[in-house]
Amino acid sequence: MTYRLRQFNLKSVVKRGKFFEIRYTNPRTQKREYYKLGITHDEVKRNLPEFNRMYAGLKRQVFSYRITVSQGIQSWLEQKKTELSNKKTVARYEEIMNNFTEFLKDKFSALEYMDELAQKHFEEFKEYRKNVKGKKERTVNFELDMLSNLFKRLMEKDYLNYNPLSKVKRLQESYKEERWFTEEEIRKILEIAKSDKSKINWYVIFATYYYTGMRKRELMSLRKGDVDFDKGIILIRHKEGFKPKTDRPRAIPIHPELVSILRLLRPFGPRNDAGDDDFVFVNSRGKPFSNDAIRQKLKKLCRKAGIKPGKLHSFRHTWTAHSIMKGCPSDVVQAIGGWKEKDMIERYKHLAPDYMAEIFKKTEFLGGRVKDVVDCPVKPGNDTAVAEDNGLLKAQE
């Protein structure tokens, strides 16, 4: 059995004077009170989650809504089963959770509730998996990421109010070149996708990934109102059931080659009967894609094309690499791609040696005086020209 705290929604909001408010019973005082959410609808939507967190905190001070480790894991796995269609992925997640519960039984048998788990437990789990079980750094880090996702999901449901893995450092992994597709590989993938006879227009989906560099959930959550052909941009913004990874909205310019491709979709075609809230990309039943349906299709396309398979995120690596190789400035790539740190871009610069060489050649060191230095005669034992050269360099410094 799992516990769920009450969640207030927009139906609970009333307007008193110029403010939108929620009337609720304070769990501690048992008195009816009002909580001001703001003056505008946008303020209400922004502040409502904060009120729900505050109300949950008040309830926990009065009642015990503790969830056991087994209940938390079961709740998380059930949610994953509804999101994923690949049974192997679900089995992998179950294996990770079984490894963790076995570790707890062996090392901390008295521990029962999720809120008893602290950073030290996961630090020890990390060392246990690496040194005792001999697992690779990448495997251990993936397990820690999944456990962190477990806590994030439980926090979203107000079962918990903290994530002990947020301060657990991941193991240093050996450097591995990011998988990205060459232009020839991209052409093969898109050609095969275009010839696909299914009800789903896979060509448009993978072309959009390639021309925009969007993350998987950004594309899957895209709605008709997010695509503005007049301004030539695709908006990645907060909406119901989705928020950008960095919590910052951004605009992606629609590349001229992508405009005609997007027009092939029903929401943007001549028979346009879709509303602004309708999803742009849907499955054959008109519903949003499951988490790994597009990934499975990509594997099949790569197999048909006879190329090394890649992940959906490989399209993001490909877009970044190709943009830099074509000479797009790194700060522009960073802004369009939605990265907070420049470090994510720096690792791609080595892929564009010709572009960097061209920029480097435009850099002036000795300027117009370089010919004078080269033509200056140097007699044996006479270091005058060398001395002048050194003096020139010092003057420029």
- Per-residue model confidence as pLDDT tens digits over 13-54: 888 888 999 888 876 676 788 888 999 988 988 888 888 888
- Model pLDDT, residue 241: 77
- Shared domain for 211 and 120, answered yes or no, is no
Q: What is the DSSP letter of 15?
A: E
CA atoms within a 13 Å half-sphere pointing along the CA-CB vector of 1: 3
- Shared domain for 84 and 158, answered yes or no, is yes
- Shared domain for 143 and 190, answered yes or no, is no
- Shared domain for 337 and 190, answered yes or no, is yes
* 49 is a domain residue: yes
The contacts of residue 291 (CB under 8 Å, 6+ apart) are 83, 84, 85, 216
386 vs 390: CA distance, rounded Å:
6
If one compares 386 and 220, the residue with the highest pLDDT of the two is: 220
- Shared domain for 127 and 48, answered yes or no, is no
- Model pLDDT, residue 325: 85
pLDDT tens-place string over residues 277-324? 689 999 988 888 887 889 999 999 999 999 999 989 999 999 998 998
Number of domains in the chain: 4
* 378 is a domain residue: yes
- The residues facing 68 across adjacent strands are 113
- Shared domain for 193 and 331, answered yes or no, is yes
Provide the CATH number for the domain around residue 115.
1.10.150
Averaged pLDDT for residues 330-345: 87
* 57 is a domain residue: yes
* 2 is a domain residue: no
* 172 is a domain residue: no
The contacts of residue 359 (CB under 8 Å, 6+ apart) are none
- Shared domain for 212 and 340, answered yes or no, is yes
User: For the chain, what is the total number of helices (H) and then of strands (E)?
Assistant: 16, 6
The whole-chain average pLDDT of the chain stands at 83
- Shared domain for 105 and 31, answered yes or no, is no
Residue 270 — very low, low, confident or very high, per pLDDT cuts 50/70/90?
A: low
Provide the CATH number for the domain around residue 336.
1.10.443.10
Instruction: Say if residue 340's pLDDT is above 70.
Output: yes
252 vs 234: CA distance, rounded Å:
5
Domain range for 376 is: 367-396
Range list of β-strands (E), the chain = 13-16, 19-25, 32-38, 227-228, 233-236, 250-253
- Shared domain for 56 and 76, answered yes or no, is no
Name the 3-class secondary structure at 16. strand
* 178 is a domain residue: no
Other beta carbons less than 10 A from residue 206's beta carbon = 23
Q: Which helix (H) or strand (E) holds 273?
A: none
Q: What are phi and psi of 223, to 5 degrees?
A: -115, 165
* 360 is a domain residue: no
Instruction: Say if residue 337's pLDDT is above 60.
Output: yes
Residue 276 — very low, low, confident or very high, per pLDDT cuts 50/70/90?
A: low
- Shared domain for 150 and 190, answered yes or no, is no
- Shared domain for 250 and 323, answered yes or no, is yes
